[in-house]
Homo-oligomer: A and B are copies of this chain.
């Protein structure tokens, strides 16, 4: 945990049993096809140095290890129990484990929540028994776990290379896929694996904290189908990502499935893209393709981060240089602008036809002298404009392609690259056409932890993850988060009133809440009788006004004829007032009409939307987008978990595809970005202060060159709190 500015949290209790000194196998078996046998093999063949206690009352020994009839018969303490018996046995067994002082239990059995209500009930019983005895549960319905640095392997997999990658996966097959991929092409190896199964007790957030502390793990990697407590996970990630990289592949199924949306924000929240935004907010490296999980995790394990997005490319042929430029640009990376001295140094060692602009194309210089590639890498690595170096082409195959005698030069080049990596601290990455056949120079790089890829696309994804992590650490991490405002008595009373009346906030109340906390909202008036309109008309003077009915029973005000626009003068106001009332009464004779809101019409400007939901997985989430079709058709919105930092708010604005519109197009003026950022931060502060607020939609907010107008505001109240 060195290098972190965060106070180290209490050491995770998971260490007690994920690095156990003693293991009981409940349901140990002499039948080689059973998990209770295979786990024994895994421990014994894997040279586990702790104590192994097979529990089986029927046979005296398994694989030469004496068995015990029950947990109680075991002489010493038991850190971890592997439970191989069926679901029905679990409640009693957890009580036994508690009595014995077992710290954690890996429960393989399925037949719990995933099968329906009865299974869910059984799961609760098992959990209650475990909790009563102080036993932590991995699973149930888990594929198992390993901790290779402790020689603990409770899985039925052999020959897994021990290394730096900690992996938590809701799919056992995904572990298997990575292990096989690593066996064939991997650079790094694995530290700890856990299948979290149903996450009954221990969730992704706990495992992430454990991997964050676990000293043999340099990268925490997670395959997630669903988080159970996303809010805690975000908090854990916020603390871990500054210390070590966290890689997440999130499968695309939404967290929530379909739900009735009561606001625009509600309709867009819960999406895959929301999850991605929130994970990135806390520094997670999100991988979108399953075949990039291992390359990205390994790249981060080996190189941790890049200082920025500027990549120098050294190529020995135009084709791959062109592809590389295309892919770097797709990935939001930049082809670094090489300095004049760098170009001169390159010119001195390359043939005249070489291209010195990045991508540097050595144009045949290396055909007879592959070492020149290493020298080029050295030169560009020393350029301050370069954050990472990417060698692209035939390296490793020159001795095959041109002349056997080039092997020596290639091996020397490999050594020079390894030495350069040690010295310069910038990521060096190699794509080679010859990677699939693993010639000696590439094998040498590979052994030295200098990554070699067989796909330009994968290499670029690694560079992207390194740059994004570097930039996160420089810019995003450690930014102060927006503090909650102090809740005001009058506002609390307003919420309480609405709760008592069984309704959400009226628009004017929602705007009052914003005003109460220093959001500039134009002054408005609610009138109950037409007689008040003379004074109102005089007050607003020449401004064009809008009138809207105030009633909890009329949700679609326009449909009910409850809205009139562009009104000026007392006469017009009076006529509109009567119209609205008669329209609304004929729309719904029983509607409880509290009056009519009179508000100045907003000038034309750029429409945006600001929304908040309390996501059942991730907690309060802020959404920002351009209004109208952008949010409705293109779903061009940004999400951040509340509370936000100022960086988060600024990044939300910059993230939109339609951000050019905020900069002013088609003769329209630019939007006041500082005011937008300020609004996002204020909304974050307000939401933190009022748990009564369940959803918020400011739609539209109209942005001007100087300032904003909140035209409509809707706040939905927490129904759970209402019934309380």
1/0 contact trace for A159-196 toward B, CB 8 Å?
A: 00000000001111110110011011100000000000
| Cβ-based interface call for A156 (8 A) | yes
Q: Which residues does chain B contribute within 8 Å of A458, judged by CB atoms?
A: 291
Q: In the complex, A22 Cα to B223 Cα: how many Å?
A: 59
A-to-B contact residues, CB < 8 Å = 33, 156, 169-174, 176-177, 180-181, 183-185, 223, 225, 251-253, 289-291, 316-320, 322-323, 325-327, 329, 393-394, 397, 401-403, 433-434, 436-437, 454-458, 628-629, 632-634, 657-658, 660-661, 665-666
Q: In the complex, A327 Cα to B291 Cα: how many Å?
A: 12
The verdict on A290 contacting B456 (CB below 8 Å), with A180-B436, A658-B629 known, is yes
Q: Is the CB of A225 within 8 A of B454?
A: no
The closest CB in chain B to the CB of A318 belongs to: B171
Q: Is the CB of B289 within 8 A of A253?
A: no
The verdict on A394 contacting B317 (CB below 8 Å), with A181-B454, A658-B629 known, is no
Q: Is the CB of B290 within 8 A of A457?
A: yes
When A and B form their complex, which 7 residue pairs have the shortest distance between CB atoms, in order from nearest?
A171-B319, A184-B436, A173-B317, A252-B326, A291-B455, A177-B433, A251-B322
**Identical copies in the complex:** 2
Q: Report which of B180, B291, B319, B661 forms a contact with A173, defined as CB distance below 8 A.
A: B319
Q: In the complex, A632 Cα to B176 Cα: how many Å?
A: 48
The verdict on A180 contacting B433 (CB below 8 Å), with A253-B322, A320-B171, A665-B629 known, is yes
Give, as a whole number of angstroms, the nearest-CB distance from A637 to chain B: 15
Extra contacts besides A156-B401, A173-B433, A183-B436 (6): CB < 8 Å: A173-B320, A176-B394, A176-B433, A253-B325, A291-B454, A629-B666
The verdict on A172 contacting B317 (CB below 8 Å), with A251-B322, A436-B183 known, is yes
The closest CB in chain B to the CB of A315 belongs to: B173
Q: Which residues does chain B contribute within 8 Å of A252, judged by CB atoms?
A: 322, 325-326, 329
Q: Which residues does chain B contribute within 8 Å of A172, judged by CB atoms?
A: 317, 319
A sample of 19 inter-chain contacts (CB < 8 A) reads A33-B402, A156-B401, A169-B319, A171-B318, A171-B322, A173-B319, A176-B397, A180-B436, A184-B436, A185-B436, A225-B318, A252-B322, A252-B329, A253-B325, A289-B327, A291-B457, A632-B665, A632-B666, A633-B658
Q: Is the CB of B436 within 8 A of A401?
A: no
Q: Is the CB of B320 within 8 A of A174?
A: yes
Q: Which residues does chain B contribute within 8 Å of A170, judged by CB atoms?
A: 319
The closest CB in chain B to the CB of A169 belongs to: B319
Q: Is the CB of A317 within 8 A of B171?
A: yes
The verdict on A173 contacting B322 (CB below 8 Å), with A436-B181, A658-B629 known, is no
The closest CB in chain B to the CB of A33 belongs to: B403
Q: Which residues does chain B contribute within 8 Å of A403, judged by CB atoms?
A: 33
Q: In the complex, A150 Cα to B620 Cα: how many Å?
A: 68
Give, as a whole number of angstroms, the nearest-CB distance from A313 to chain B: 14
Q: Report which of B253, B316, B437, B628 forms a contact with A183, defined as CB distance below 8 A.
A: B437
Q: In the complex, A174 Cα to B323 Cα: how many Å?
A: 10
Give, as a whole number of angstroms, the nearest-CB distance from A624 to chain B: 17
The verdict on A290 contacting B323 (CB below 8 Å), with A180-B433, A180-B437 known, is yes
Give, as a whole number of angstroms, the nearest-CB distance from A278 to chain B: 18
